[in-house]
Amino acid sequence: MAVTSDTSAPPARTGAPGRVPPPRTSPRRVAVRGVALLAVPAVVVLVVFFVVPALRLLWLSVTSPEPGLGNYAALVTDDVAVTVVLRTLGMAAMVTVVCLLVAYPYAYLMSLVSGRWRGLLLAVVLIPFWTSLMARTFAWVVLLQDNGIVNRALDTVGLGPVRLLGTTAGVTLAMAQVMLPFMVLPVYTTLRGIDRRLVDAALSLGARPVVAFLRVYLPLSFPGVAAGATLVMVLSLGFYVTPSLVGSPQQSMLAQFIAVQVNQLVNFGGAGALAVALLVVTLVLVGGVQLLTRTKGSRRATGAGVAGGALV
């Protein structure tokens, strides 16, 4: 079905599409157009069930309950909305920092060890990609209970019991675990590409190890850190499942707030404005990091991370 060559055409022409532009009415041209048409059913599905609903929501955000930008103005004037937005930004930033502090040494360890160990470390960090989000979130609910394992462990070292379920600490612990791969993968990709002789050169010129790390190694790893931090930030801002189940309604994040607007208040206009704002922030951050990290390796890492995002 997808074969565009026809036996009568000279091989050179069929072999180099684009280099020798065929005449307008050639059979080959018709065949190419036929292949392009194969995308039509999928495009129709995406347009009808994805693009149209998205545009409808955008339309609702400026027309419901009344025409105008009232829903957007509420994002900066309504006390509850402002609190939720600020809390979400704070949580996302905290999860990003926790992920970075854990992922950087982990990725560094991955770049030090070789062969089998590296494979094992990679497999472990990919576990969140491999397992059902709902199952893992349920597991966190069990672990973080008042008499759960985490609390009993804290108790034995004399730190507990602490309330974790429904608190910021509990949500951070669970969310950071889900987000960690999105930080480790881009950071590791960048660290692997750093030429260690540059650090050796700094050391041989008399720099102390800390200085060599801070002035040579750390700046070189920046593209991976930027890519990972953006991904974790973006995914955390819109995260729904884990904060809903591990957190509390009183400390709700943006996605939960949007869900309440829709399900309990039937306020599609307000929910639409919140959703549009979240989408704009997401696109700006993703676009920005694509521009920042133009090197091939880190862009591939970003791509892989974005693709994995749908699993969250």
Partner 1 sequence: MRSARTLRRGLAVFGVLVGLWLVVPTLIVVPISFSGEDSFAFPPSSWSLRHYTTFFTESSWLTSLLVSLQLALIVTVVATVLGTMAAFALARTSFVGKGTVDGLFLAPLIVPGIVVAVAMYAAFLGWGLVGTPVGFVAAHSVLALPFVTVNVTAALAGFDRTLERAAAGLGASSFTTFRSVTFPLIRPGILAGALFAFVTSFDEVVVSLFIQSPNLQTLPVRMFNSVTNEVDPTIAAASTVVLVISTALLGLASISRRNRRHA
Tell whether residue 288 is a contact of partner 1 (CB under 8 A). Answer: no
Query: How many angstroms separate the CA atoms of 264 and 48, rounded?
Result: 27
Question: Is 140 one of the binding residues for partner 1 (CB under 8 A)?
Answer: yes
Looking only at residues 109 through 128 of this chain, which bind partner 1 when binding is defined by CB under 8 A? Answer: 109, 112, 121, 124-125, 127-128
H-helix segments, the chain:
11-15, 27-37, 40-46, 52-63, 70-77, 79-112, 116-130, 133-143, 149-156, 168-192, 196-204, 209-212, 218-220, 222-237, 241-246, 254-263, 268-292, 296-309
Looking only at residues 186 through 205 of this chain, which bind partner 1 when binding is defined by CB under 8 A? none
Whose tokens are 């402002």? That residue is: 82
Element (H, E) at 23: none
- 65-101 burial, b for 16+ CB within 10 Å, e for fewer? eeeeebbbebbeeeeebeebbebbbebbebbbebbbe
d(CA 52, CA 41): 15
User: Considering only residues 47-86, where is the footprint of partner 1 by CB under 8 A?
Assistant: 47-54, 56-57, 60
Binding flags for partner 1, 218-237, as an x/- string (CB under 8 A):
----------------xx-x
Out of 286, 292, 297, 300, point to the residue binding partner 1 (CB under 8 A): 286
Tell me the per-residue interface mask from 167 to 186 with partner 1, x by CB under 8 A, - otherwise: -------x--x--x------
Q: Which residue among 10, 23, 41, 115 contacts partner 1 (CB under 8 A)?
A: 41
102 binding partner 1? (CB under 8 A): yes
Residue with tokens 């190890």: 209
Least distance (Å) from partner 1 to the CB of residue 99? 11
206 contacts partner 1 (rule: CB under 8 A): no
- Taking the complex as a whole, the smallest distance from the CB of residue 15 to partner 1 amounts, in Å, to 7
Q: Which stretch binds partner 1 (CB under 8 A): 67-75, 192-200, 216-224, 263-271?
A: 263-271
Per CB under 8 A, 106 contacts partner 1: yes
Instruction: Please report how many Cα atoms fall inside a 13 Å half-sphere around the Cα of residue 23, on the Cβ side.
Output: 4
Q: What does DSSP assign to residue 227?
A: H
Region of 65-73, 82-90, 156-164, 280-288 interacting with partner 1 (CB under 8 A): 280-288
Tell me how far apart the alpha carbons of residues 222 and 147 are, in angstroms, rounded to a whole number. Answer: 41
Asked if 35 touches partner 1 (CB under 8 A), the answer is yes
The one segment of 20-28, 87-95, 164-172, 252-260 that binds partner 1 by CB under 8 A: 252-260
Tokens coding 187: 């950071």
Token pair 């055409």 in the structure block, residue:
9
Q: Which window, 74-82, 188-196, 214-222, 265-273, contacts partner 1 (CB under 8 A)?
A: 265-273
